[in-house]
Amino acid sequence: MFGYHVPRPDQAMLISGARGRAGTPFRVVTGHGTFAMPVFRKVRYLTLSMNEAEVAENCVTKQGIALQVRAVIAFKVGNDDESIVNAAQRFLSDQDQMSVLTGRIFSGHLRSIVGSMTVEEIVTERQKLATEVLDGSKAEMAKIGLSVDSLQIQSIDDMKLGYIAAMAAPHNAAIQQRAKVAQAQANQLSVEAEQQAQRNQAEYSRQTAVVQAQYKAEVDKAQAESAQAGPLAQAQAQRQVLQAQTELAQRAAELRQQQLISEVVKPAEAEAERVRILAQADAERIRIQAEAAASHNRVALDRMLIDQLPLLVREAAQGLSGANVNILNGADGLGEIAAGLVGQGLAILDSVKKGLPSSNAAPEASSSSDATPRGLEAVPAAKKQQ
């Protein structure tokens, strides 16, 4: 709209041609638009944005050592109407002069503050230097309507005098020494760690080898036992078979021995006893014949008895050989049986002799004859009971 003006956010609009508020020579408008009558009012703009000024000043310290100090100042026009009016009256026609004038002001204050400090203080306490320079220039900057946001000391140079380097040498040496010590310690720790790692690896390898050897020994043992299990089982089975065969052979031998005793020895012993009994009977017959011949008594009867005695003994012996007789004392038992048979035969003969002269003796002889078989049968029965 014609006659209506609006300043930018970083500008202050100055309307001249009319008296401003509070006795100012012109009206200040910021942040909003306003109407200015053409021809009668003139509108100008003052920047409120941030500006920068650089300072590179050769200064002499309290010790008389020349230093070149570089600094950067960030400043702007104040936001209040008074600061805007003061800045506009000085810089409205040439606003670039704000940076030039600010640099000159801070150069003067920087030389003054550096002259009151030592190199060591300036190097180690830069913030103190910046604060004192700001405090010293604040009043002058306010008079021209400017406010300083920050001051930064960029560099401090002794212009190749070597003072700063010499000042830093002890610290440098100490730091380098500490660095070397730290590096040596780090190297030592690294070597120790590497050696420990190698020892751990060697110990792990050793344990692994031991475990592998144990596993291999167990596997070899199991394989050996497995390989021997078959032959051992077969040998055990063969041993059991041989043992069974040995026991069977022993039992067969014992059975065969019993069979031989029953089939060969006992019949042979019985036959031998029978022959002995017959021999005794024949001897007794000869003796009786001799006695009969000597006495010439009853020759015919004795002859008959003598002829009958071997028959009686033979019959008894035949009954003994067929009998199931258990002989407990071997050949002695057979001898006893034979002696008993002969004794009974002789007793029968004597009984016959004594009973013949009387007529009443015939029945006794007959009864004795009847008793002979019972006596012969009684002998094996008595031995069997024994």
Per residue in 148-186, pLDDT (tens digit) is 988 998 888 888 888 888 887 888 888 888 888 999 999
Q: pLDDT at position 203, please? A: 92
* Residue whose pair of structure tokens reads 């202050």 in the numeric block: 12
Whole-prediction pTM value? 0.43
Helical axes 330-355 vs 361-385, angle rounded to 10°: 170
Angle 74-76-78 (CA atoms, 0-180°, nearest 5)? 140
Mean pLDDT value across the chain? 78
272-292: average pLDDT: 83
Least confident residue range of 39-48, 226-235, 271-280, 359-368: 359-368
3-state SS, residue 14: strand
Please say whether the beta carbons of 364 and 350 come within 8 A.
Answer: no
CB atoms closer than 10 angstroms to residue 34 = 15
- 291-328 pLDDT per residue, tens: 776 666 555 655 666 666 666 666 656 655 555 555 55
Higher per-residue confidence, 318 vs 130: 130
The CATH architecture annotation of domain 50-165 reads 2-Layer Sandwich (3.30)
C-alpha distance from residue 114 to each of 117, 126, 131, 367 (Å): 5, 10, 12, 183
268-276: average pLDDT: 84
Write the DSSP assignment of 218-251 as a string of letters: HHHHHHHHHHHHHHHHHHHHHHHHHHHHHHHHHH
For CA atoms 8, 14, 19, 23, give the dihedral sign: positive
Residue 228 has pLDDT above 70, yes or no: yes
Q: pLDDT at position 385, please? A: 36
Least confident residue range of 19-28, 180-189, 205-214: 19-28
Q: pLDDT at position 287, please? A: 84
Burial class of residue 336, CB neighbours in 10 A (0-12, 13-18, 19+): middle
CA pair distance 65, 106, nearest whole angstrom? 20
Reported in sequence order, the residue ranges of the chain that DSSP labels E, i.e. its strands, are 4-5, 11-16, 27-29, 34-35, 42-47, 51-60, 66-77, 146-157
Q: pLDDT at position 207, please? A: 92
- 75-120 pLDDT per residue, tens: 999 888 888 888 888 888 888 899 999 999 999 999 999 989 998 8
- Beta strand 146-157 with 66-77 is antiparallel
Write the DSSP assignment of 24-90 as a string of letters: -SSEEE-SS-EE--TTT-EEEEEE-S-EEEEEEEEEE-TTS-EEEEEEEEEEEE-SSHHHHHHHHHH
231-251: average pLDDT: 87
Please say whether the beta carbons of 47 and 40 come within 8 A.
Answer: no
Residue 365 has pLDDT above 50, yes or no: no
CA pair distance 380, 369, nearest whole angstrom? 19
Please say whether the beta carbons of 38 and 92 come within 8 A.
Answer: no
Residue 381 has pLDDT above 90, yes or no: no
Residue 72 has pLDDT above 90, yes or no: yes
Please say whether the beta carbons of 175 and 136 come within 8 A.
Answer: no
Least confident residue range of 4-13, 21-30, 334-343: 334-343
Q: pLDDT at position 213, please? A: 92
C-alpha distance from residue 299 to each of 293, 294, 304, 309, 352 (Å): 7, 10, 8, 15, 14
CA pair distance 123, 126, nearest whole angstrom? 6
Q: Go through 343-361 and write b for each residue having 16 or more CB atoms within 10 A of its CB, e for each that does not.
A: ebbbebbebbbebbeeeeb
57-79: average pLDDT: 90
Q: In the chain, where are the structural domains located?
A: 4-46, 50-165, 259-385
Q: pLDDT at position 1, please? A: 52
